[in-house]
Amino acid sequence: MNKALKKQVKRRDRLEELAKKYELKLKLPSKGPFGMDALIKVGAVCCDCDEGGEAFCASSLKRGEEDFKPPAVFWLSKGKRNLLKDMEPTAPNLVTHMAEELGFKAKTSNEEL
Protein backbone atom coordinates (compact mmCIF):
# COMPACT_ATOMS: atom_id res chain seq x y z
CA MET A 1 0.00 0.00 0.00
CA ASN A 2 1.24 3.47 -0.83
CA LYS A 3 2.25 5.35 2.35
CA ALA A 4 0.73 8.55 0.97
CA LEU A 5 -2.70 6.89 0.90
CA LYS A 6 -2.55 5.64 4.50
CA LYS A 7 -4.39 7.68 7.10
CA GLN A 8 -2.12 8.78 9.93
CA VAL A 9 -3.28 7.59 13.34
CA LYS A 10 -2.01 8.76 16.72
CA ARG A 11 -0.22 6.10 18.74
CA ARG A 12 -2.72 6.41 21.60
CA ASP A 13 -5.68 5.99 19.22
CA ARG A 14 -4.00 2.98 17.61
CA LEU A 15 -3.51 1.35 21.03
CA GLU A 16 -7.12 2.02 21.98
CA GLU A 17 -8.37 0.51 18.71
CA LEU A 18 -6.25 -2.61 19.24
CA ALA A 19 -7.45 -2.92 22.84
CA LYS A 20 -11.07 -2.75 21.72
CA LYS A 21 -10.56 -5.20 18.84
CA TYR A 22 -8.68 -7.80 20.93
CA GLU A 23 -10.48 -7.11 24.24
CA LEU A 24 -7.35 -6.01 26.10
CA LYS A 25 -7.19 -3.99 29.28
CA LEU A 26 -4.60 -1.27 28.82
CA LYS A 27 -2.89 0.99 31.33
CA LEU A 28 -2.20 4.20 29.38
CA PRO A 29 -0.72 7.37 30.84
CA SER A 30 -3.08 10.33 31.23
CA LYS A 31 -1.35 11.95 28.26
CA GLY A 32 0.38 10.13 25.43
CA PRO A 33 1.93 8.09 24.08
CA PHE A 34 2.61 10.83 21.57
CA GLY A 35 3.44 10.62 17.90
CA MET A 36 2.12 9.12 14.71
CA ASP A 37 4.87 6.56 14.16
CA ALA A 38 4.51 2.80 14.37
CA LEU A 39 4.11 1.08 17.73
CA ILE A 40 6.39 -1.73 16.58
CA LYS A 41 7.86 -2.94 13.33
CA VAL A 42 6.97 -6.46 12.25
CA GLY A 43 8.85 -8.70 9.85
CA ALA A 44 9.28 -12.31 8.87
CA VAL A 45 12.14 -14.53 7.75
CA CYS A 46 11.83 -17.49 5.41
CA CYS A 47 14.07 -20.22 6.84
CA ASP A 48 14.51 -22.13 3.58
CA CYS A 49 14.47 -19.43 0.90
CA ASP A 50 18.09 -18.27 0.86
CA GLU A 51 21.37 -18.52 2.75
CA GLY A 52 20.69 -15.44 4.88
CA GLY A 53 17.39 -16.82 6.13
CA GLU A 54 18.89 -20.24 6.74
CA ALA A 55 21.74 -18.72 8.78
CA PHE A 56 19.34 -16.60 10.85
CA CYS A 57 17.12 -19.58 11.59
CA ALA A 58 20.04 -21.90 12.34
CA SER A 59 21.37 -19.51 14.98
CA SER A 60 18.02 -18.31 16.32
CA LEU A 61 16.11 -21.58 16.60
CA LYS A 62 18.75 -23.32 18.70
CA ARG A 63 18.95 -22.51 22.39
CA GLY A 64 21.53 -24.62 24.20
CA GLU A 65 20.58 -28.23 23.63
CA GLU A 66 17.04 -27.40 22.57
CA ASP A 67 15.99 -26.99 18.92
CA PHE A 68 12.84 -25.06 18.06
CA LYS A 69 10.84 -25.51 14.88
CA PRO A 70 9.46 -22.68 12.76
CA PRO A 71 7.21 -20.82 12.91
CA ALA A 72 8.71 -19.07 15.92
CA VAL A 73 8.13 -15.63 17.36
CA PHE A 74 10.99 -13.37 18.43
CA TRP A 75 11.00 -9.99 20.13
CA LEU A 76 13.98 -7.95 18.93
CA SER A 77 14.87 -4.88 20.91
CA LYS A 78 18.11 -2.94 21.23
CA GLY A 79 20.06 -5.69 19.48
CA LYS A 80 18.75 -8.47 21.73
CA ARG A 81 16.78 -11.33 20.21
CA ASN A 82 14.37 -13.08 22.60
CA LEU A 83 12.56 -16.25 21.53
CA LEU A 84 8.97 -16.25 22.77
CA LYS A 85 8.61 -19.94 23.52
CA ASP A 86 5.23 -21.62 23.19
CA MET A 87 3.61 -18.57 21.57
CA GLU A 88 1.35 -19.29 18.66
CA PRO A 89 1.88 -16.50 16.09
CA THR A 90 -1.68 -15.18 15.99
CA ALA A 91 -2.74 -11.54 15.93
CA PRO A 92 -4.29 -11.59 19.45
CA ASN A 93 -1.17 -13.18 20.94
CA LEU A 94 1.17 -10.76 19.18
CA VAL A 95 -0.88 -7.68 20.14
CA THR A 96 -1.06 -8.81 23.77
CA HIS A 97 2.69 -9.37 23.91
CA MET A 98 3.35 -6.01 22.23
CA ALA A 99 1.24 -4.23 24.87
CA GLU A 100 3.17 -6.04 27.63
CA GLU A 101 6.58 -5.21 26.13
CA LEU A 102 5.68 -1.55 25.70
CA GLY A 103 4.38 -1.39 29.28
CA PHE A 104 0.76 -0.63 28.40
CA LYS A 105 -0.98 -3.85 29.42
CA ALA A 106 -2.92 -3.56 32.67
CA LYS A 107 -2.30 -6.28 35.21
CA THR A 108 -5.23 -8.60 35.79
CA SER A 109 -6.11 -9.90 39.24
CA ASN A 110 -4.59 -13.30 38.29
CA GLU A 111 -1.24 -11.71 37.32
CA GLU A 112 -0.92 -9.74 40.56
CA LEU A 113 -0.86 -12.86 42.77
Residue range of the domain that includes 87? 43-105
28 located within any domain: no
Report, as an integer, the average pLDDT of 69-79: 86
The answer to whether 63 and 87 have CB atoms below 8 angstroms apart is no
| φ, ψ dihedrals at 100, nearest 5° | -65, -50
Residue 61 belongs to some domain of the structure: yes
Find the angle CA(54)-CA(56)-CA(62) to the nearest 5 degrees. 95
- The yes-or-no verdict on residue 46 having pLDDT over 70 is yes
Is 74 a domain residue?
Answer: yes
Residue 85 lies in a domain: yes
What value does the mean pLDDT of the chain take? Answer: 86
Count other C-beta atoms under 10 Å from residue 18's C-beta. 19
Q: Is residue 55 part of a domain?
A: yes
Please report whether residue 22 resides in a domain: no
Domain count, the chain: 1
CA-nearest of 94, 6, 103, 99 to 44 is 94
- pLDDT value at residue 42: 87
pLDDT score recorded for residue 94 = 93
- This prediction has a pTM of 0.77
Is residue 89 in a domain? Answer: yes
- Over 50: is that where the pLDDT of 113 sits? no
pLDDT at 70 over 80: yes
Position 8 in a domain: no
